[in-house]
Amino acid sequence: MAVPWRPGPGAAEPEQAEQASPLDRAAIEDCLRRATEHLLSLQDDEGWWKGNLETNVTMDAEDLLLRQFLGIRTAEQTAATAGWIRSQQREDGTWGTFHGGPAEISTTVEAYVALRLAGDRPEDPHMRAAAEYVRASGGIAATRVFTRIWLALFGWWPWERLPEMPPEIIFLPKWLPLNIYAFGCWARQTIVPLTVVSAHRPVRPAPFDLTELHTDPANPYPLRPLAPPASWDGFFERIDLVLHAYHKRAVRPLRRLALTQASRWIVERQEADGCWGGIQPPAVYSLIALHLQGYELDHPVMRAGLAAFERFTVHTEDGARWLEACQSPVWDTCLATIALADAGLEPDHPALLRATDWMLAEEITTKGDWAVQRPQLPPGGWAFEFHNDTYPDIDDTAEVVLALRRVRHPDPAKVAGAVRRGVEWSLGMQSKNGAWGAFDVDNTSTLPNKLPFCDFGEVVDPPSADVTAHVVEMLAEVGRADDPRTRRGVAWLLANQEAEGSWFGRWGTNYIYGTGSVLPALVAAGVPRSDPAIRRAVRWLEERQNQDGGWGEDMRSYEDPQKWSGRGDSTASQTAWALMALLAAGEGPGGQFAPGDGEPRRGSAAVERGVRWLAATQLPEGSWDEPQFTGTGFPWDFSINYHLYRLVFPVTALGRYLHGNPVLGEVRRGT
């Protein structure tokens, strides 16, 4: 379990560093060698890497509920899934959304219902403890909208008491607020099928009741008072009342046309592997929506969609099963390629060539939803998953380009073409403020987040520091550091530094990730290491270093940054991010020359302690133990443990410690 941050070394650290034994370079080289060999051993024969992507048990509970709704749940699947859900229950009877995090009511309710489906009884001690927590936390009425939608499918919650989202939203033009393209790509893929489900309001017979989860069984669906009409909440709550009235009086021809158009929109976005967007929420709701629209289970669209879940299923040695919310092969492969190259593998190493060939084959050359805002922009770039041509993302594209640039491929023209297309597509996806979001351009409206329907996670995709930094680093690597668009990105990063010196991390946890992304990018783009922004960031990282020498940051920094910013148990991935930032800022091994500075680096006690922590905590197999969640889907609401992060980032950091960062012109092999 995560514990509050322990004070860092502070002013006493230089003296402590002098007393510590000097780093044994041979020991660090051996640590890197074992990590590199382990990473190489994980490569697939086709050239890709993919670590498991672990989230929370709502994925598994909803899988059982989906199968119950469609009538395809089997005893074997149920028992295996229930075994996993039970294994994740904490001593107090609850479930959380990340390792060591607090109990979470919606997750606990969904896990409880799944175990009821598996035959666990309300009077069983583990179930009784869960139910007591749910009632003490407000009961089912206190859960998020998405949980209550799942319960409404079986009559455990009334559809009339859920926010209304009419399918007619599909007709709104893109210049109107709250059209489907005002939402982030993950949200629009979820909302469109849910409008279909909401229009049908289906109810399957419930196999049991859930009275034990209500605070007052005599009044299980208490009304909440409306917010003041002058507030956004109050305004949208009253709009919701109007939409509920419209549901009863909808113009039938228009409603049928909207349902048909929404169904067509869903089918057109099914990927080659049968999934939607490569992520779980759109997939489950799309299957339910299409089934309600008359698609039988043996229809090719339905068969492919259900088969996709089998590929997302992880089977454990003890017979349990759990589902990945998504799969990350492109992301993992480009990060692994960068790590191995920076660790000292020759640029034409067979593993790097296989990875390059696989990444080249994954380039997206067709237009997707991003073209709604950029219709004239030629396609290019890469997605996160195996198959997701509709939604390439800017973050993956930047890192793939950085990876390709590190490899000496026998067909350099082919690589150069892919790099050029990726660079031009990324530049075309720059938002008006000079920064970059993950999937869309200028997806910055604040209205979608205010809808009663949207009470779980981000539903828009505004620019973020981590994505912007990766693009800036990539543009500097390809010789575009002086491009006006790159300079606008640099200016945005400098303007969005937190007061204490860090940067917010949208897609990784959190300020350590943001800072670990931004510092290498700024230095690569030509910002002097002596710049006050860089020195403030260095001081912040040094202050946040744990007493054991590592760095860590708990997910709670999204909710309470004052207490948790840069604070938490040391982890391998977050220690590596901090080291990558400090090394880029010139805080490297003493005696090495920083390019352009003209003076040797001063030895950094913080860096040496961080490297020593990585070496001391490495497992015999070459990796690191990391149960903590350091990846982010939605800040605070949806957390991720990327199982490969604990390996690829330490390899990168140790490689740069020993050999330098090639993007910064540092290559010190053999020194």
* 513-542 confidence digits (pLDDT tens): 999 999 999 999 999 999 999 999 999 999
Q: H or E stretch including 350?
A: helix 350-361
Structure tokens at 474: 């990539």
C-alpha 406/C-alpha 560 separation (Å) is 39
C-alpha 584/C-alpha 604 separation (Å) is 12
Provide φ and ψ at 86, rounded to 5°. -60, -40
Cβ of 25: how many Cβ atoms within 10 Å?
Answer: 12
Provide φ and ψ at 633, rounded to 5°. -95, -65
pLDDT score, position 15: 35
C-alpha 349/C-alpha 36 separation (Å) is 13
The answer on pLDDT for 566 being more than 90 is yes
- Do residues 43 and 354 touch, judged by C-beta distance below 8 A? yes
Residues 41-87 have pLDDT tens digits of 999 999 999 999 999 999 999 999 999 999 999 999 999 999 999 99
CA distances from 604 to 30, 122, 607 (A): 21, 57, 5
pLDDT score, position 281: 87
CA distances from 503 to 12, 103, 458, 542, 631 (A): 26, 28, 19, 15, 16
Residues β-bridged to residue 593: 600
Which CATH architecture describes the domain 56-218+229-323? Alpha/alpha barrel (1.50)
The answer on pLDDT for 620 being more than 70 is yes
- Do residues 585 and 530 touch, judged by C-beta distance below 8 A? no
Please spell the DSSP secondary structure of 414-482, one letter per residue. HHHHHHHHHHHHHHHT--TTS---SSSSSB--SSGGGSTT--SS--SB---HHHHHHHHHHHHHTT-TT
Structure tokens at 589: 């091994």
The answer on pLDDT for 596 being more than 70 is no
pLDDT score, position 10: 35
Start and end residues for every CATH 1.50.10.20 domain found in the chain = 22-53+326-429+464-663, 56-218+229-323
The answer on pLDDT for 669 being more than 70 is no
- Do residues 164 and 244 touch, judged by C-beta distance below 8 A? yes
Residue matched to tokens 């939604």: 391
C-alpha 304/C-alpha 297 separation (Å) is 10
CA distances from 153 to 77, 112, 118, 185, 464 (A): 20, 16, 18, 25, 36
- Do residues 393 and 439 touch, judged by C-beta distance below 8 A? yes
**SS3 letters for 151-203?**
HHCCCCCCHHHCCCCCHHHHHCCCCCCCCHHHCCHHHHHHHHHHHHHHHHCCC
Is residue 395 flagged as an active site residue?
yes
C-alpha 521/C-alpha 506 separation (Å) is 16
| The residue count for the chain | 671
The answer on pLDDT for 19 being more than 90 is no
Out of 342, 395, 461, 554, pick the active-site residue.
395
Structure tokens at 151: 């319960």
In the chain, % of residues over pLDDT 90: 86
pLDDT band for position 2 (50/70/90)? Answer: very low
C-alpha 374/C-alpha 181 separation (Å) is 12
| Mean pLDDT, residues 299-328 taken together | 95
Nearest to 539 by CA among 496, 501, 570: 501
User: Which value, in Å, is the radius of gyration of the alpha carbons in the chain?
Assistant: 25
Report domain 22-53+326-429+464-663's class.
mainly alpha
How remote is the C-alpha of 669 from its chain's centroid?
Answer: 34
Of the listed ranges 254-268, 412-426, 520-534, 586-600, the one predicted with least confidence: 586-600
pLDDT score, position 584: 96
pLDDT score, position 167: 97
The answer on pLDDT for 135 being more than 60 is yes
In the chain, % of residues over pLDDT 70: 94
| Mean pLDDT, residues 447-455 taken together | 86
Four-CA torsion 608, 610, 611, 616, nearest 10 degrees: 120
Task: Return mean pLDDT, the chain.
Answer: 93
3-class SS of residue 638: strand
The answer on pLDDT for 574 being more than 90 is yes
State the distance between the two ends of the chain, measured CA to CA, in whole angstroms.
41
Q: H or E stretch including 31?
A: helix 25-41
Burial per residue of 319-335, b for 16 or more beta-carbon CB atoms within 10 angstroms, e otherwise: ebbbbbbbbbbbbbbbb
